[in-house]
Structure 1
Amino acid sequence: MTNSAAADSLIVIRGRGRVSALGPMLPNAAALVPAFHMRELPGRAVAVGRVPLAVEEDLQQLRRAHAPYRQLDRTVLLALLAARQATAQAGWPLHPASPSLQADSKLLQGDRYALQPASTSLPLTTDNQPPTTTLAVSIGSSRGATGRMEQFHEEFLAAGAVPAAASPLTTMGNVASWVAYDAGTTGGAALSHSSTCSSAFQALGNALAWLRAGMADRFLAGGTEAPLTDFTLAQMQALGIYSPFAATEFPCRPGAGRPSTFVLGEGAAVFALEKVSREALAAERASQPTAPVFCLEGVGFGFEAIGSKTGLSADGQHFQTAMREALRQAGTAPETVDAVVLHSPGTPAGDAAERAALRAVFGENLPDLVSNKWLLGHTLGASAALSLDFACEILTSQQWPAPPFATDLTPAPTRPIRRVLINAAGFGGNAASALVSVV
């Protein structure tokens, strides 16, 4: 990718949307509290990070609001809610064919996901007028349509047949294409990515490259995951990493050592990205000096070929490569990073490898270390996107909640937070890091 420090333009985050166990709207970052519930499984109850009742009602209303949405997987519906929120916050106009503008429902008129035609200099298009900008979509998910896939397979085992819709509704491309449809984009790319738990940053990095290359004017990019099925939870338990703690006992404890405290969660986060010239951004800042503008400075990737497809090297080689590449793209040095939102899922080996990688890149004077997984769980392919959203919240509030358990996480900022690095990693030896700053 092009070094953004030398370019005459920046990639800015115009809008953010998120849905998780914490809900769709984040209060002040320091006021966040863990949001876990117990889930009964055969022979055991485990903690999970499921969305709250209000969001559950929104999902069901969305499913009913538009006939084609009744067949969609929960993963797709979570992405639609987050994408609508991001688009609304960005103030982007929509094509009139968008279901978001056509549907007449309380959900679409409410504060959380409202999508009214925005008052901007870019007019809405019509069917005989090409769009004034190209809106593309890039969404990552580790498992994709988990619930629908398991449902179709169960029906096949019972009846020996599946409906014709089974294949198109369970492909990875099904995720981004529905987000694009809901946004009313006409002709823009719809890209889906799956690279285990770094999937959202694969999607974000692709969007970043397209925008820098001029292949799109605007992007909706992020990650989504709805993995709280009995089968997926059983898979995590089979790995021997699931937390033994109850929902009320802070079940996910990044940086706390043994025992392993991995907790599965569901959610989505989507970002409205746009390329802006430095001159235009300077003029914007002059007219709106108090409004924070987030710059996505770089997305780096790291890979290592390892014998164990569930493990990683002790010194986190892929983490090191990803972090250095994100810094290289931004044209900045490690000492300019004020905080790191860790991948840190609460597994002792994974947490230790990430710390070793951090010491290799930053030396012993580490940035502040923070995590949101102890609040909402590990959302697999959505986790990187939700961590980036958390980083933007930190940049805005200059605060985060202090973990109420023994850990190496930093309890409160030790310096002004102007630039944050976000890490993600997944099975198969892949890692990704994103760098975001406030300008």
Structure 2
Amino acid sequence: MTEFAPDELIVIRGRGRVSALGLLPVPADTSVSPFTAHTTGPAVAALPPAAEATLAELRRSNAAYRQLDRTVLLGLLAARQATAAAGWRSGGLLNSGVGESEDCQPTTPPTHHSANPPLAVSIGSSRGATGRLEEFHTGFLTDGTVPVAASPLTTLGNVASWVAYDAGSTGGAALSHSSTCSSAFQALGNAVAWLRAGMATRFLAGGTEAPLTDFTLAQMQVIGIYSPYEAADWPCRPGAGRPSTFVLGEGAAVFALEKVSRPQLAAEKSEEPVFVLEGVGFGFEAIGSKTGLSADGQHFQQAIRQALAQARLTPADIDAVVLHSPGTPAGDAAERAALHAVFGDALPPLLSNKWLIGHTLGASAALSLDFALHVLETQQWPASPFATDVASRTPRPVRRILVNAAGFGGNAASVLVACL
């Protein structure tokens, strides 16, 4: 296993997100469920009205954006926040108060400043341009025709390339990843590898997903994992046991990454918290069922141990875990079994944000990482209104967090993030 050079750090310079909580990492009001009922009946975690208006304005801001899939637009929205927070460009969607207000309005992206080094992009999405693909297919079944733009607007590469375009990237790579629900961490891991190899100096990396279509919802329901609870009754309940409480959500989170040396970071003398990606691990288990996993979460164990080894850390160094835990009894139990295998009896507090934003598929890992950064920054997070093993507090300050993700097909990924 390759270990990271101890004097080279991958720093998160800025971040952005959008979800059922709007542009906020946690809800301003925890007394009301952020879930709503989809037109077909089941509960979903959809964008609230203010964020929906912001997304609509983004679509109108550029004639080319009016044809883009919702997945792409969510990625643009989060990426604009991240680049603005990193100070990588003037103007843009938000200023230094990125993500803390829903009053922001998007603008046409500014021109790229040649003084900046090339900006590379790595974005994960499980299903990509879901809405547009289904629209084009419906049209084809209706009248037998397909628009010229159908293919370029629905390829997976369409996601990262538009994020790169909107960010003003010239000369950097634009990489799209799809590995089911760990897609965002696959994208993040690739960005980290490129940065450490010297193949790039700045990266926008994260995940985006807009899967709230009739067809996608039907796919999730037929698997038999969808929550029976109403939208107002906190339908997604990770760690609560039976029944299964999977709820589909939409959203995106993107991070502005740079590689810096410890002396360089010390010379900056910033009073703001510095977030460092210390390890990115991956796991895979070859099992016959592509929707199942081993009872002891072998892929989780592999990913966690790989991330720890890269960072030269032990389980005792971890202060909290942000779970993948989608609310499915088998999946939740397997992840906890894996954590017990790695941590033994010294299991750190378990955290989750899926009970607030649902399972956003390819964006879920990125939104979990964003939640972890919020916890590191504020030492606070909301307590769930239902019985669960997810912690409402920790016995000590949280300085380093393990974040897990997993998806269909037996893959898993884990990220270690710390606040210096």
TM-score, with structure 1 as normaliser: 0.90
Displacement of 1:8 after TM fit?
2.1
Give, in whole Å, the separation in 2 of the partners of 1:32 and 1:20: 18
Q: Is the 8 A contact 2:319 2:397 kept in 1?
A: yes
Spell out, residue by residue over 1:212-247, the C-alpha distance to the aligned partner (whole angstroms, 9 max, x if none).
Answer: 111001000000000000000000000000000001
Q: 2:42 aligns with which of 42, 46, 54?
A: 46
Give, in whole Å, the separation in 1 of the partners of 2:232 and 2:254: 29
Give, in whole Å, the separation in 2 of the partners of 1:267 and 1:223: 8
Q: Does 1:276 align with 2:276?
A: no
What's 1:318 paired with? 299
Q: 2:85 aligns with which of 62, 83, 89?
A: 89
Displacement of 1:7 after TM fit?
3.3
Give, in whole Å, the separation in 1 of the partners of 2:59 and 2:112: 26
Spell out, residue by residue over 1:331-359, the C-alpha distance to the aligned partner (whole angstroms, 9 max, x if none).
Answer: 11111000000000000000000000000
Q: Is the 8 A contact 1:334 1:361 kept in 2?
A: yes
RMSD: 2.2
**Aligned counterparts, 1:109-120, within 5 A:** 112=104
What's 1:104 paired with? none
Change (3 A) 1:29 1:421: farther
What's 2:351 paired with? 370
Letter of the structure 1 residue corresponding to residue 221 of structure 2: Q
Letter of the structure 1 residue corresponding to residue 419 of structure 2: V
Give, in whole Å, the separation in 1 of the partners of 2:250 and 2:162: 19
Q: 1:259 aligns with which of 226, 240, 243?
A: 243
Q: 1:160 aligns with which of 139, 144, 167?
A: 144
Q: 1:347 aligns with which of 311, 328, 347?
A: 328
What's 1:432 paired with? 413
Give, in whole Å, the separation in 1 of the partners of 2:185 and 2:364: 9
Give, in whole Å, the separation in 2 of the partners of 1:351 and 1:219: 32
Spell out, residue by residue over 1:271-309, the C-alpha distance to the aligned partner (whole angstroms, 9 max, x if none).
Answer: 00011110011122xx334x1010011110000100100
Letter of the structure 2 residue corresponding to residue 315 of structure 1: D
Letter of the structure 2 residue corresponding to residue 151 of structure 1: E
Give, in whole Å, the separation in 2 of the partners of 1:209 and 1:348: 34
Identity %: 72
Gaps of 5+ in 1: 102-109
Q: Does 1:9 align with 2:8?
A: yes
Q: Which deviates more from structure 2 when the two are superposed, residues 405-414 or residues 74-83?
A: 405-414
Give, in whole Å, the separation in 2 of the partners of 1:326 and 1:299: 5
Displacement of 1:381 after TM fit?
0.1
Gaps of 5+ in 2: 94-101
What's 2:279 paired with? 298
Q: Is the 8 A contact 1:265 1:378 kept in 2?
A: yes
Change (3 A) 1:418 1:115: farther
Q: How many residues align?
A: 413
Displacement of 1:26 after TM fit?
3.4
**Aligned counterparts, 1:172-321, within 5 A:** 172-284=156-268, 287-289=269-271, 291-321=272-302
What's 1:418 paired with? 399
Q: Is the 8 A contact 2:280 2:416 kept in 1?
A: yes
Q: Is the 8 A contact 2:61 2:106 kept in 1?
A: no
TM-score, with structure 2 as normaliser: 0.94
Q: Does 1:20 align with 2:19?
A: yes
Give, in whole Å, the separation in 2 of the partners of 1:243 and 1:345: 11
Q: Is the 8 A contact 1:29 1:397 kept in 2?
A: no
